[in-house]
């Protein structure tokens, strides 16, 4: 079947696309996502929307005869203080990060639903847990975006206004891993073709940077010459999030896009689309 995109269905009535197109392979990548501010402001939205999207799509895929489904989760499923790097068996071994536990609980339910449908119905549903994602097409809204696109937007806006500083949340000490969206797309295709296990897999690059290091990288890419101020009264979130990707490496897949190269390409995409938006206006 040719690739088709189905919008997230929160109605509880199923996904009409499955009835009309009968897809053979399903990539469940839809979801409600956001940073610390969005997660803390809209907890009900995050758990409700993600649970309903997963439930509707997984069940519809099974009922309408899909050969295989890949559910895309998140590294947020792991405990706040999980040993680093985090292996797949760290799941449910401790308390979640409070700032995004609603999203995390929904994502855990999604991977467990895949396992349950495999055990009860023999449905070939697999799950992939990616680390923090970034790249062209990202969300740059400061109220709902993740840390990397939010930084790009803040430094760009500060440079455009001629500001002498940028204020960022937290201390800058937490460490994060970032995977380019094109690398993840290749990983999804790879595991869809080469993996059939019940156990979920981590997807990442296997290396991390501090938020401070990331900020300095973004500052350099954007060309902002002012200083960076850190607001330590704001939350840092999880101290470190680095995935153990040895299982995916053993399967034959590795990420290929260096972080700085990916950040620079993402900023160029942002500039291009900013210019297009102004031209339309």
Catalytic residues: 103
Strands 209-210 and 175-176: antiparallel
SS (H, E, C) 53-82: HHHHHHHHHHHCCCCEEEEECCHHHCCCCC
Residues 6 or more apart whose CB falls under 8 angstroms from that of 1 comprise 21, 22, 23, 24, 25
Strand positions, DSSP E, the chain: 25-28, 68-72, 125-130, 132-134, 165-169, 175-176, 178-180, 201-203, 209-210, 227-231, 240-241
């Amino acid at each position: 079947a040719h690739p088709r995109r189905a919008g997230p269905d929160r109605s509880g009535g199923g996904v009409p696309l499955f009835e009309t197109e009968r897809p053979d392979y399903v990539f469940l990548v839809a979801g409600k996502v956001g940073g610390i501010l969005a997660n803390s402001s809209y907890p009900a939205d995050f758990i409700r929307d993600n649970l309903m999207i997963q439930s509707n799509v997984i069940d519809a895929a099974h009922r309408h005869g899909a050969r295989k489904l890949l559910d895309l989760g998140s590294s947020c499923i792991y405990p706040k203080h999980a040993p680093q790097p985090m292996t797949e068996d760290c799941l449910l071994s401790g308390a979640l990060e409070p700032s995004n536990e609603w999203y995390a609980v929904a994502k855990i339910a999604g991977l467990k639903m895949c396992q349950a449908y495999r055990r009860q119905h023999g449905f070939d549903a697999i799950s992939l847990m990616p680390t923090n994602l970034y790249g062209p097409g990202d969300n740059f809204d400061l109220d709902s975006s993740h840390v990397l696109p939010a930084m790009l937007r803040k430094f760009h806006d500060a440079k455009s206004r001629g500001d002498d500083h940028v204020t960022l949340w937290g201390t800058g000490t937490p460490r994060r891993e970032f995977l380019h969206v094109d690398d993840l797309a290749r990983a999804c295709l790879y595991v869809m073709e080469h993996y059939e296990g019940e156990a979920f897999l981590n997807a990442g690059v296997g290396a991390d940077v501090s938020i401070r290091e990331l900020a300095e990288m973004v500052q350099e890419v954007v060309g902002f010459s002012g200083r960076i101020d850190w607001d330590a009264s704001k939350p840092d979130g999880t101290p470190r999030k680095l995935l153990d990707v040895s299982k995916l490496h053993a399967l034959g897949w590795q990420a290929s896009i260096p972080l700085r190269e990916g950040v620079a390409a993402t900023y160029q995409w942002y500039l291009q689309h900013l210019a297009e938006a102004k031209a339309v206006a």
